[in-house]
Structure 1
Amino acid sequence: MDDHRAQGVERTVEAGLYREAMSRLVAAVHVITTRGPDGRAGFTATAVASVSDSPPTLLVCLNRRIRSAAAFRQSGRFAVNMLGADQQMVAESFGGRGGLAGEQRFAVGHWHEGALDVPCLAAAVAVFQCRMVDVRTIATHDVLVGRVEAVTLGPDKAKLAYLGRGFLSV
């Protein structure tokens, strides 16, 4: 057993080192969207994972400091739009690049309302429409757990990934 743990001393990894190590993880790129009381909202995310296929459930990690965080909690429903390599501009605008905010971000890409009245990206590789079943606050983020109530499969094309603080096609 580690001597530090035995003595009750917690080791802390420096945030910059952690971010650098995580930048080496290849991750799929998604835009997470909702319709809150003040309209449509969304953000770019790589922290998306399947939880179960029975019932279909996934999770998304949301930084609580972004402007749209409250909209997700209030709405109780969201869409996970899996991006193709040709949709990098969508990822960039929802990630805060280009100076667009709020509703302006939806000017990039073609959007329609899905079965749960959440914005869905046309020609996304796949769209998962979810009803929130749990929210857990962990450190700086909320982990949104959603039961998938509708899935749309788009074209099976090259996917957009993120690695080394940049986008790539896989």
Structure 2
Amino acid sequence: MMSYPHVSKADFRDGMACLAGAVNIVTTDGPGGRAGLTASAVCSVTDSPPTLLVCINTGSSAAPAFLENDYFCVNTVGPAHEELAMTFGAGTPMAERFERAAWYRNVTGAPVLEGAVASFDCQVSHRHVVGTHEVIFGEIVGIRQQEDAPVTAWFARRFHALEV
């Protein structure tokens, strides 16, 4: 096997800052409790069956709930929810995070953000640990979306509003 030079965490993070991604508030509820976090490490996997993945840092305060529960919801946010995304990305106590917005339940019972640009209600289908993260694959069992709504992207370590 060929040997390659070591890529530092700083170089990796600087490089990833050049990769724009949607801002998502990912939520869960179930036996492991209700929890949520902000993530840009979300992507589609396949449309047959409709599946996406989310990467959860196993050291985060939300991780225990995500690792125990079998359902989650990816809520893609727009400019109106940037402050909420910061709250879910910070060390704010879990209950307080949810008090700052309106939520409802869809198919799985995972919290769905009222007014999200899109919400993907998922049942966990696979899990895989890679380094400090658990990659959770979710089969999408429900989708809610707003037509022509602006979305927020994370790029160069800050928010950017994208219009249709």
Residues of 2 paired with 1:57 and 1:17: CA distance?
Answer: 30
- The ranges of structure 1 where at least 4 consecutive aligned residues each deviate by more than 2 angstroms after the TM superposition are 36-39
Residues of 1 paired with 2:121 and 2:148: CA distance?
Answer: 19
Counting only pairs closer than 5 Å after superposition, residues 74-93 of structure 1 correspond to structure 2 as 74-93=68-87
Aligned residues: 162
Q: Does the 8 Å CA contact 1:123/1:155 hold for their aligned counterparts?
A: no
Q: Does the 8 Å CA contact 2:32/2:64 hold for their aligned counterparts?
A: no
Residues of 2 paired with 1:150 and 1:25: CA distance?
Answer: 28
**Which residue does 1:36 correspond to in 2?**
30
The superposition leaves residues 116-165 of structure 1 with CA deviations (integer Å, 9 ceiling, x where unpaired) of 11100011011000000100000111000000001111353110111111
**Which residue does 1:161 correspond to in 2?**
153
Are residues 1:102 and 2:123 paired? Answer: no
Change in 2 beyond 3 A, CA 1:89/1:127:
same
Q: Does the 8 Å CA contact 2:32/2:69 hold for their aligned counterparts?
A: no
Which consecutive unaligned segments of at least 5 residues does structure 1 have? none
**Which residue does 2:13 correspond to in 1?**
19
**Which residue does 1:70 correspond to in 2?**
64
AA partner of residue 62 (structure 1): I
Residues of 2 paired with 1:86 and 1:157: CA distance?
Answer: 10
Cα distance, 1:90 vs structure 2: 1.3
Residues of 2 paired with 1:156 and 1:101: CA distance?
Answer: 33
AA partner of residue 154 (structure 2): Y
Cα distance, 1:10 vs structure 2: 4.3
TM-score (normalizing by structure 1): 0.90
* Identity across matched positions, percent: 36
The superposition leaves residues 76-106 of structure 1 with CA deviations (integer Å, 9 ceiling, x where unpaired) of 110000101211011100001xx52211101
Aligned partner of residue 117 in structure 1, secondary structure? coil
Change in 2 beyond 3 A, CA 1:112/1:67:
same
- CA RMSD of the aligned region, Å? 1.4
The superposition leaves residues 4-56 of structure 1 with CA deviations (integer Å, 9 ceiling, x where unpaired) of 91xxx342101101101111111110010001335310000001111111110
Change in 2 beyond 3 A, CA 1:138/1:38:
closer
**Which residue does 1:122 correspond to in 2?**
114
Aligned partner of residue 90 in structure 1, secondary structure? helix
Residues of 1 paired with 2:11 and 2:134: CA distance?
Answer: 22
Larger radius of gyration: 1
AA partner of residue 78 (structure 1): F
Change in 2 beyond 3 A, CA 1:133/1:38:
closer
